[in-house]
Chain A
Amino acid sequence: MEDPAAPGAGSASTNGNGNGGGKGKQTAPKGREAFRSQRRESEGSVDCPTLEFEYGDADGHAAELSELYSYTENLEFTTNRRCFEEDFKTQVQGKEWLELEEDAQKAYVMGLLDRLEVVSRERRLKVARAVLYLAQGTFGECDSEVDVLHWSRYNCFLLYQMGTFSAFLELLHMEIDNSQACSSALRKPAISIADSTELRVLLSVMYLLVENIRLERETDSCRWRTARETFRTELSFSMHNEEPFALLLFSMVTKFCSGLAPHFPIKKVLLLLWKVVMFTLGGFEHLQVLKVQKRAELGLPPLAEDSIQVVKSMRAASPPSYTLDLGESQLAPPPSKLRGRRGSRRQLLTKQDSLDIYNERDLFKTEEPATEEEEESAGDGERTLDGELDLLEQDPLVPPPPSQAPLSAERVAFPKGLPWAPKVRQKDIEHFLEMSRNKFIGFTLGQDTDTLVGLPRPIHESVKTLKQHKYISIADIQIKNEEDLEKCPMSLGEEVVPETPCEILYQGMLYSLPQYMIALLKILLAAAPTSKAKTDSINILADVLPEEMPITVLQSMKLGIDVNRHKEIIVKSISALLLLLLKHFKLNHIYQFEYVSQHLVFANCIPLILKFFNQNILSYITAKNSISVLDYPCCTIQDLPELTTESLEAGDNNQFCWRNLFSCINLLRLLNKLTKWKHSRTMMLVVFKSAPILKRALKVKQAMLQLYVLKLLKIQTKYLGRQWRKSNMKTMSAIYQKVRHRMNDDWAYGNDIDARPWDFQAEECTLRANIEAFNSRRYDKPQDSEFSPVDNCLQSVLGQRLDLPEDFHYSYELWLEREVFSQPICWEELLQNH
């Protein structure tokens, strides 16, 4: 694999500094204090400082490692250490692990792996714990957190090179099928971490291997780099005729959700699954690289901008006012009223008379040197400022404007240009031309966008401008190709599908994909802070609850924090996993993406995410569900200070909770992915009254989160009605400034071209048919019988061997009666089919 194509590269360069906790921790405590006092003053109000949050594939290295463990598990660090030291003493005398030569270390690991194959479960567990202690960084021999992280990484590479991963994979297979553990867990009234000891040790070792090896550092030796690539390949492709590792984890998730294995430590499974997918398929920056490559291969023009960079450079907007929040839900018209807006078909005219100059000219003119009139306007600002001052001095009777900020200061805040280049789809041009032709020449020419005969000059100009901004996506090409392959299967022959890790994963997931998606969403629902604990929902707390329930206030406070943290981490991993899957499948093939997203939609993903956001999102993002002294690696080297209820209440010094902000952005991106260009799904956003929910999320002053909220609002403004738009001009302006413009999109005016009756069923069915055609063409190879000659020789047909059940000759008369004689034979249909 070439270097730029190495997946996961992004995670290292941006997040790989790994010294000490998450990024949030770098914020000066002073600012934090100021923030908190501010928050106290205006709880629930609009005030929220801009959040210095950097989005990425994952949090910092240490934070990602610490989230693997719940605080309940902390005692086990010592257990692991003891197991290791006992074993080590019997093998090596007079030396510590870190003092050994590399060869001696290798020899010891080899011995450990041998001892892992003993029959006795207890002894096996002890050895596995010893391995885990190595992977955790032999912290007993370290002085600082940096040391622990360093040796953890070193040991993990060593362990991997000695074949630890495959040994543990075998053990994991065994443990999954361990019916004794399953049945004992099923019988118990309350499951605790004690029920998943073995699985947790195995999964922890595997997670540490994946996470440590995934992380790229400049200083990594050549051997380590090779090891990383080997590991990546090993995880991506099926080794020894096995399925890819991610599939095993997916099947664990579904088994857990079905209730057959309630003791599975689901948080660890999900974390590992997410990291394996990220490691094998690549993170967001790698995705961008892949996209650029793929466009080049297809001969498409390069992208106008690097979206990751654009989003990074965006600034947060101050949130809209909330005085109008009340009664907002009444403002949105019920869907039944959403008939075609008047003037919609007049659209055609609006286009030709260039009434849209504001919308469109702005975009092109912003970069040009200031013209006479613009200079005038700049000068004018000063004059009005003077006028304002005069006014305040001379006329005290008139109430001064509420905003006391100097005008000039506020003006400066306006951006020079728009962040995104406008785009036009081929479909939009076709639609525009169809309208024009209908009006001026009285007939249409289908998809011909080149013939402009008989159309007036302004139309020519419009078409030219539209074509200048035409954007063809990879998906457009894929859909076109799919149509062609479907139409002429013989002449085009077999499609050559490159065996990328993504393709392999899809093939593996294909047949149980609906179950996987349902399972993930079920867990997400159970972990959402807004959902009440119901008896019928799945119990996701099995791997956080201690064997003995807390007695003191302090203990229960600690457990409370632990439980919330546990849920947050689950939400984080699922949201990131789903987003990553959707993005990769979309790039690999649009119908793979559509397949996954349709199942998410069918499993009610849209209302689920909206429900998630229907909480005080600001307090979710600033939640302090962590106890930093208990976090790995800190807890392994420091003597635990006395915990008090006060210190637990105080929480950490972070301005915000990285993982929660990350999850929120992921969920919003997910929602965008599902609804983009899907009329019926957009209407779901309207029907579920998402506008007030989303608007509240704008309180969080973080540019990326706001961008994805604004996108979701933009696609539904047409349906929210004029009143809503009028009373939400701040939001409307923010949309205008931050979201990409689509040239023929009248989102702000409500003249909806697509205002057709809303038929969810029909739209989804069409899409489903396309997906199914794709899946069966590409993945149902043996059923290609349509083009094989029909065997009509009586002898050979009767001579075929059919596998019949053993007892068939007892029941064949019944079968004959039911299946043959009682079924009317439609001869004509038979003829038509052949």
Chain B
Amino acid sequence: MSNPFLKQVFNKDKTFRPKRKFEPGTQRFELHKKAQASLNAGLDLKLAVQLPPGEELSDWVAVHVVDFFNRVNLIYGTIGDECTEQSCPVMSGGPKYEYRWQDEHQFRKPTALSAPRYMDLLMDWIEVQINNEELFPTHVGTPFPKNFLQVVRKILSRLFRVFVHVYIHHFDRIAQMGSEAHVNTCYKHFYYFVKEFGLIDTKELEPLKEMTARMCH
């Protein structure tokens, strides 16, 4: 396997695993692609994410990360009663993408987990990062660590997976509650932000590519 792309795809150590064989997308999974509704907040989110003059990048990014974390946590909470061990025995984004969990404790190797379990670990992990005074210093003037953006990339990639799962597997619930405008707006904001600062690999954004193209112009 000399082809670097294939190597990446088949590497067992990766937590992001596009499946080789997958069922063609069903109606249910495609539902989210029609998503258009958005809150009219009266401002251009694309402009809103840009670093204001005089502002420090790390500060700007840190605040956004904390905020997105809180909001995505709530978004998942709204569909939490639907996302169970039974409904989602494997954390995935449609039939094509499966996510595995890896951390420094119990799961040293990427492990397939149910979606709710995966989400719990994911959110707990991010919370630990955010609460880490060395990574996210809280005093004005304390410098950010060198690996700050690296960690942020990981956090945002993981947060993105929550969006993927929610959109692909639970969009019906979102629509039923009438909250798609809220979720979409949050997604757009998130997407513009990671794009503006190149914080997530394009590959990771793949599962929602089509929807994103419709939603974020």
- To the question of whether A and B form a pair in one complex, the answer is yes
A409-447 vs B, CB cutoff 8 Å, 1 = contact: the mask equals 011001000000000000000000000001100000000
A357 and B43: CB pair below 8 A? yes
List CB contacts (< 8 Å) of A375-413 with chain B: 376-377, 380-381, 383-385, 387-388, 390-391, 394-395, 398-399, 401-403, 407, 410-411
Given known A354-B48, A361-B42, A726-B74, contact A381–B175 (CB-CB < 8 A): yes
Which residues from A are CB-within-8-Å of B189? 355
How far in angstroms is the closest Cβ of chain A from B90?
15
Given known A349-B60, A388-B175, contact A377–B180 (CB-CB < 8 A): yes
B37 and A458: CB pair below 8 A? no
Which residues from A are CB-within-8-Å of B63? 343, 346, 349-350, 353, 355
B176 and A343: CB pair below 8 A? no
Which residues from B are CB-within-8-Å of A394? 27
Which residues from B are CB-within-8-Å of A599? none
Question: What residue in chain B is nearest A413 (Cβ atoms)?
Answer: B178
User: A733 CA to B52 CA in the complex, in Å?
Assistant: 32
Does B182 count as interface, using CB distance less than 8 angstroms? yes
Does B216 count as interface, using CB distance less than 8 angstroms? no
List CB contacts (< 8 Å) of B92-148 with chain A: 123, 127, 130-133, 136, 138-140
B74 and A725: CB pair below 8 A? yes
Which residues from A are CB-within-8-Å of B156? none
A411 and B173: CB pair below 8 A? no
How far in angstroms is the closest Cβ of chain B from A408?
10
Determine which of A321, A355, A376, A438 lies in contact with B140 in the assembled complex, contact meaning CB atoms within 8 Å. A438
Determine which of A340, A355, A411 lies in contact with B64 in the assembled complex, contact meaning CB atoms within 8 Å. A355
User: A651 CA to B183 CA in the complex, in Å?
Assistant: 50
Does B89 count as interface, using CB distance less than 8 angstroms? no
How far in angstroms is the closest Cβ of chain A from B155?
13
How far in angstroms is the closest Cβ of chain A from B36?
5
Does A750 count as interface, using CB distance less than 8 angstroms? yes
How far in angstroms is the closest Cβ of chain A from B50?
10
Interface size class of B (residues with CB under 8 A): 35 or more
User: A374 CA to B180 CA in the complex, in Å?
Assistant: 11
A361 and B41: CB pair below 8 A? yes
Grouping DSSP codes into helix (H, G, I), strand (E, B) and loop, the B interface class, with mixed when no group exceeds half, is helix
Does A456 count as interface, using CB distance less than 8 angstroms? yes
B178 and A410: CB pair below 8 A? yes
A456 and B27: CB pair below 8 A? no
Given known A342-B130, A350-B67, A722-B123, contact A377–B80 (CB-CB < 8 A): no
B33-58 vs A, CB cutoff 8 Å, 1 = contact: the mask equals 01111111111000010001010000
Which residues from A are CB-within-8-Å of B70? 722, 748-751
Which residues from A are CB-within-8-Å of B78? 729, 733
Which residues from B are CB-within-8-Å of A385? 175
A357 and B54: CB pair below 8 A? no
Question: What residue in chain A is nearest B178 (Cβ atoms)?
Answer: A411
B49-93 vs A, CB cutoff 8 Å, 1 = contact: the mask equals 000101000011011101100110110111011100001000000
Does B31 count as interface, using CB distance less than 8 angstroms? yes
Does B28 count as interface, using CB distance less than 8 angstroms? yes
Grouping DSSP codes into helix (H, G, I), strand (E, B) and loop, the A interface class, with mixed when no group exceeds half, is helix
User: A411 CA to B178 CA in the complex, in Å?
Assistant: 6
B37 and A377: CB pair below 8 A? yes
Does A251 count as interface, using CB distance less than 8 angstroms? no
Does B149 count as interface, using CB distance less than 8 angstroms? no
Number of A-B residue pairs with CB-CB distance less than 8 Å in the complex they form: 162
Does A511 count as interface, using CB distance less than 8 angstroms? no
User: A357 CA to B186 CA in the complex, in Å?
Assistant: 10
Question: What residue in chain B is nearest A438 (Cβ atoms)?
Answer: B140
Question: What residue in chain A is nearest B68 (Cβ atoms)?
Answer: A355
Does A365 count as interface, using CB distance less than 8 angstroms? yes
List CB contacts (< 8 Å) of A328-345 with chain B: 340-345
How far in angstroms is the closest Cβ of chain A from B108?
24
User: A371 CA to B39 CA in the complex, in Å?
Assistant: 10
B27 and A349: CB pair below 8 A? no
Which residues from A are CB-within-8-Å of B38? 373, 376-377
Which residues from A are CB-within-8-Å of B31? 384, 387-388, 391
- Residue from the set A352, A387, A395 with the largest chain B CB neighbour count within 10 Å: A387
User: A357 CA to B41 CA in the complex, in Å?
Assistant: 6
User: A380 CA to B133 CA in the complex, in Å?
Assistant: 44
B138 and A345: CB pair below 8 A? yes
User: A362 CA to B42 CA in the complex, in Å?
Assistant: 11
Question: What residue in chain A is nearest B87 (Cβ atoms)?
Answer: A399
B27 and A376: CB pair below 8 A? no
User: A670 CA to B189 CA in the complex, in Å?
Assistant: 42
Question: What residue in chain B is nearest A398 (Cβ atoms)?
Answer: B28
Which residues from A are CB-within-8-Å of B37? 373, 376-377, 380-381
Does A358 count as interface, using CB distance less than 8 angstroms? yes
Given known A346-B66, A365-B40, A395-B26, contact A456–B123 (CB-CB < 8 A): no
Which residues from B are CB-within-8-Å of A411? 178
B140 and A728: CB pair below 8 A? no
Given known A346-B63, A401-B172, contact A384–B34 (CB-CB < 8 A): yes
How far in angstroms is the closest Cβ of chain A from B130?
5
A323 and B81: CB pair below 8 A? yes
Does B208 count as interface, using CB distance less than 8 angstroms? no
How far in angstroms is the closest Cβ of chain B from A133?
62
How far in angstroms is the closest Cβ of chain A from B40?
4
List CB contacts (< 8 Å) of A553-582 with chain B: none
Given known A394-B27, A407-B175, contact A342–B123 (CB-CB < 8 A): no
Determine which of A345, A387, A751 lies in contact with B27 in the assembled complex, contact meaning CB atoms within 8 Å. A387
Which residues from B are CB-within-8-Å of A374? 40, 181
Determine which of B34, B80, B177 lies in contact with A727 in the assembled complex, contact meaning CB atoms within 8 Å. B80
Determine which of A361, A365, A383, A729 lies in contact with B74 in the assembled complex, contact meaning CB atoms within 8 Å. A729
A343 and B36: CB pair below 8 A? no
Question: What residue in chain B is nearest A343 (Cβ atoms)?
Answer: B66
Does A732 count as interface, using CB distance less than 8 angstroms? yes
B138 and A388: CB pair below 8 A? no
User: A399 CA to B189 CA in the complex, in Å?
Assistant: 32
User: A361 CA to B78 CA in the complex, in Å?
Assistant: 21
- Residue from the set A458, A722, A728 with the largest chain B CB neighbour count within 10 Å: A722
Which residues from A are CB-within-8-Å of B80? 726-727, 729
Which residues from B are CB-within-8-Å of A728? 77
Determine which of B39, B76, B81, B132 lies in contact with A358 in the assembled complex, contact meaning CB atoms within 8 Å. B39
How far in angstroms is the closest Cβ of chain B from A376?
6
Question: What residue in chain A is nearest B70 (Cβ atoms)?
Answer: A749
Which residues from B are CB-within-8-Å of A387? 27, 31, 34
B77 and A725: CB pair below 8 A? yes
User: A728 CA to B59 CA in the complex, in Å?
Assistant: 31
User: A631 CA to B185 CA in the complex, in Å?
Assistant: 60
- Residue from the set B42, B178, B180 with the largest chain A CB neighbour count within 10 Å: B178
B40 and A343: CB pair below 8 A? no
Which residues from A are CB-within-8-Å of B133? 342
Which residues from B are CB-within-8-Å of A401? 82, 172-173, 176
Determine which of B39, B59, B74 lies in contact with A373 in the assembled complex, contact meaning CB atoms within 8 Å. B39
- Residue from the set A355, A403, A728 with the largest chain B CB neighbour count within 10 Å: A355
How far in angstroms is the closest Cβ of chain A from B42?
7
B87 and A456: CB pair below 8 A? no
Instruction: Give 19 CB contacts A-B under 8 Å.
Output: A340-B138, A350-B63, A355-B63, A357-B39, A358-B182, A358-B185, A361-B39, A361-B41, A361-B42, A371-B40, A373-B38, A373-B40, A387-B27, A395-B27, A411-B178, A727-B80, A748-B74, A749-B70, A749-B71
Residues of A within 8 A of B (CB): 321, 323, 340-346, 349-350, 352-355, 357-358, 361-362, 365, 371-374, 376-377, 380-381, 383-385, 387-388, 390-391, 394-395, 398-399, 401-403, 407, 410-411, 414, 438-439, 456, 458, 722, 725-729, 732-733, 748-751
Which 8 pairs show the lowest CB-CB distances between chains A and B? A377-B37, A726-B77, A729-B77, A349-B63, A749-B70, A384-B175, A357-B41, A343-B66
Query: Besides the contacts A346-B62, A376-B36, A380-B35, what 17 more A-B pairs have beta carbons closer than 8 Å?
Result: A323-B81, A343-B130, A350-B67, A355-B64, A377-B181, A380-B34, A380-B180, A383-B34, A384-B34, A384-B180, A387-B31, A407-B176, A411-B178, A726-B80, A729-B80, A733-B78, A751-B70
